[in-house]
Structure 1
Amino acid sequence: MDDCPPIAFIGAGRVAGMLARAFADLGYPVPAVASRSPESAQRVASLVPDCRAVSPQDAADAAEVVFITTSDGAVADVAASVAWRAGQGVVHCSGALTCEPLAPARAAGANVGSWHPFQTFGGETTLAGVTFGIEAEGDLLAFLESLASEVGGYPLRVPAQARALYHAASVFSCGYLTTLLGEARTLWTRAGLPPEQAFQAITRIASSTLANIERFGAETALTGPTSRGDSGTVRLHLDSVKSVAPELLPLYREICLRSVELARQAGRPVAGMDLRPLFDEYDEGGAGS
C-alpha cells in the first residue's frame, strides 16, 4: 500500500464529512464520494479539494482505500454491489459490525477492515484524542492504526467477538448518557423548577463529573449518597421520585445498586450497606403508597 493512498467514501453523512476533511488536511488525496443522495455527496465533495460526487462504483475505482460510511444496515448492500479490485482496502466505520458484511469485497481479493471512531458526530467535533476501534489484518491493519495516530487519535484493536460489547460501551457513554441527563431534566421540571435553566445546571455538573472521571477514574470520582453510605437521603429520593415520576423508580434503583458496587471497588465505607430491603419497600407498593 502506498504511503499516502487515495481514499474515497461511499456514504456522505457527518462521519464522511469529518473524515474527508481530516484526511485531506493530512495530505491524502480524496478524489471521490458517493451517496444515494446526490446533494449529500456534493456537500461532502465540496469540503475537500479536487473531490467529485460520483457513483459508488466510480468512487471505488478512483481510490486505493474506500471507506464505507453508510448506516450499518447498508454496509452489506454496498459491499455486494461494487466490483472491487484485488489488493484494494475496503473499510467500514461501524462500531457494532464485524468485517463479515464485507465478505463480497474479500472474495474479490480486497483487504477488508473496520475503523470506528469512538466518538459522537452530533455536531462539529475533532478527532484529536478519539479512540478508534480497528479490525483488520496485515498491511491494512498497519495502515489503519497509523491513520488513527495521524489524526491525533488512539488505535485500539477490537476483535470480531468483542465488537458488540465494545459498541454497547460506546452507546452507554454517549446515547444512553444523553437519555440519563434527559431524565434528570424530567425530575428537575417535575420539582417545579424553571425548565429553561434545567440543562444549564445539568450539563454543568455533568461536565465537571466527566472531567473528574478523566482525571481520577470512575471509582474515585463517584459522589452522591451511595458513595458515602447515606441511606436516609436515598429514602428521601425514593419518596420524591415515587410521588412525581414513579416510572423512574426502576432506573433510580438500578443506578443506586451499581453505584454501591462502584463505591465498594473504591474502598469506600459502604461494605455493610444493603439497599435492597429499602428498595423492596417501594417495589411492593409501600413507603407512602
Structure 2
Amino acid sequence: MNGPDITGASRRPGRLRIAVVGAGRVGAVLAAALRQAGHDVVAATGVSDASVSRIEAMLPGVAIVPPDEAVKAAELVLLTVPDDAIAPVAAGLAKVGAWRPGQLVVHTAGRHGIAVLTEAAGHSIVPLAIHPAMTFSGTSLDLARLTDAVFAVTAPPGMLPIAQALVVEMGGEPVVIEEWDRPVYHAALVHGANHVVTAVTQASAMLARIGIEDPSRVLAPLTHASVDGALRDAPGAVASLTGPVVRGDAGTVASHLEALADQPEALFAYRAMARATADLALRGGRIGPAVYADLIATLGEP
C-alpha cells in the first residue's frame, strides 16, 4: 500500500497511535485535537467525498484505509460512527479479528455507555464512552470550541483516568456519567437543545404567517433572556418563568389554543409545554392548586 506509514515506527515515546473509524464531523475534529496534543493519528476511514475531503483538511497526511486496517494499526480507535451503527461496526470488526487485547476503543455517542462496545467487540478491549456536549461543524473552528467544553465520560473501573486524561488533552472538562444514566443524560441534552430549536422554529413560523418579515428580531431578546435565565437558575429555574401560565391567565391560554387550531403540530407542542410549565410553576409555588386546576382544564387533553 502506498501512502503515509501507519506502522508507528517513528512515533514519539509515550504517545498513542490513533485511528479514526468514521471520519465524520466529530471523529475528524477529535482526532485532530488529539494530534495537536502530540498523539499520532495513523489512519482514518472515509468513503464519501465529504469524509475524504474532511480527512484531507483536518488530518493532512493521514492514510485513508479500510476499517480493519485502521484498527489493526492503532492503539486507540475512535469509533465515531452513528449511534445505531456502533454495535454492528464493532461486531463486524470483531468477526474479522481486527480488535486486539488491551486496545482502547472510544465511541462518542451520548446515549450509550461502554456496554455497547463490550457486547459487540468482546471483553478484551478497553471500552471508553466520551461524549462532547457540543455541536460540530467538522472544521478547524471546532478545535477552539473544544476548549472548556464538557465531555460525558464512562469507563470500566480503573480506566476512568484514561478517559478523563484524553478529554483534558483535547481541552475539555470531563464529567463522569454512570452507565445506567447515559440515556437520561442524552435525553436532557436533546430536550434542552434540539427541542428549543423546534420551539423557536415553530414560533418563527407563527410570526411569519401574520406578516412579520424578520421573526428573529422579535424572538431573539425574549429567547436569549429566557434561556440565560433558565441556565442561571437551573435546575429549578422557577424564578425565570414568565407568561400567562405563571400569571394564571387561563383566558389568554384559551385564546392561544384557538389561534393555533389550524396548526396542529404547533398546537400539540404548545399544549404539552404549557402543561409542563404549569407543573413546574405549581411545584415552585408560583401558582396555587386552584389556578393550576383551571389551567389544566383549559388546556384539555394533550
TM-score by length of 1: 0.84
User: In structure 2, what is the equivalent of residue 205 of structure 1?
Assistant: 222
Is this contact kept in 2: 1:20–1:44, CA < 8 A?
no
Change (3 A) 1:233 1:206: same
Is this contact kept in 2: 1:65–1:91, CA < 8 A?
yes
Task: Name the CA distance, whole Å, in 2 between partners of 1:4 and 1:230.
Answer: 63
Secondary structure at the counterpart of residue 105 of structure 2: strand
Secondary structure at the counterpart of residue 248 of structure 2: coil
Q: 1:105 aligns with which of 121, 140, 154?
A: 121
Is this contact kept in 2: 1:42–1:53, CA < 8 A?
no
Amino acid at match of 1:40: S
Task: Name the CA distance, whole Å, in 1 between partners of 2:38 and 2:218.
Answer: 42
Q: 1:141 aligns with which of 135, 142, 160?
A: 160
Q: Deviations over 1:39-91 (max 9, x none)?
A: 61452244235422222122212321111011123222321233111111011
Amino acid at match of 2:198: T
| Match status 1:273 vs 2:291 | yes
Unmatched 5+ residue regions in structure 1? 285-289
User: In structure 1, what is the equivalent of residue 63 of structure 2?
Assistant: 52
Task: Name the CA distance, whole Å, in 2 between partners of 1:99 and 1:34.
Answer: 22
| Matched positions, count | 277
User: In structure 2, what is the equivalent of residue 43 of structure 1?
Assistant: 54
Is this contact kept in 1: 2:75–2:103, CA < 8 A?
yes
Q: 1:72 aligns with which of 73, 78, 83?
A: 83
1:139 shift after superposition: 4.8
Q: 1:237 aligns with which of 251, 256, 259?
A: 256
Is this contact kept in 1: 2:20–2:70, CA < 8 A?
yes
Is this contact kept in 1: 2:253–2:299, CA < 8 A?
no
The range that moved more, 12-21 or 202-211, is 202-211
Change (3 A) 1:224 1:25: farther
Is this contact kept in 1: 2:28–2:59, CA < 8 A?
no
1:110 shift after superposition: 1.3
Change (3 A) 1:18 1:24: same
Moved over 6 A (4+): none
Is this contact kept in 2: 1:38–1:53, CA < 8 A?
no
| Match status 1:215 vs 2:232 | yes
1:19 shift after superposition: 1.0
Task: Name the CA distance, whole Å, in 2 between partners of 1:204 and 1:35.
Answer: 42
Task: Name the CA distance, whole Å, in 2 between partners of 1:229 and 1:3.
Answer: 63
Q: 1:120 aligns with which of 132, 135, 151?
A: 135
User: In structure 2, what is the equivalent of residue 19 of structure 1?
Assistant: 30
Is this contact kept in 1: 2:20–2:28, CA < 8 A?
no
Q: 1:262 aligns with which of 280, 291, 295?
A: 280
Secondary structure at the counterpart of residue 111 of structure 2: coil
User: In structure 1, what is the equivalent of residue 4 of structure 2?
Assistant: none
User: In structure 2, what is the equivalent of residue 287 of structure 1?
Assistant: none
Is this contact kept in 2: 1:30–1:50, CA < 8 A?
no
Amino acid at match of 1:251: A
Task: Name the CA distance, whole Å, in 2 between partners of 1:164 and 1:237.
Answer: 34
1:189 shift after superposition: 1.9
Is this contact kept in 2: 1:11–1:41, CA < 8 A?
no
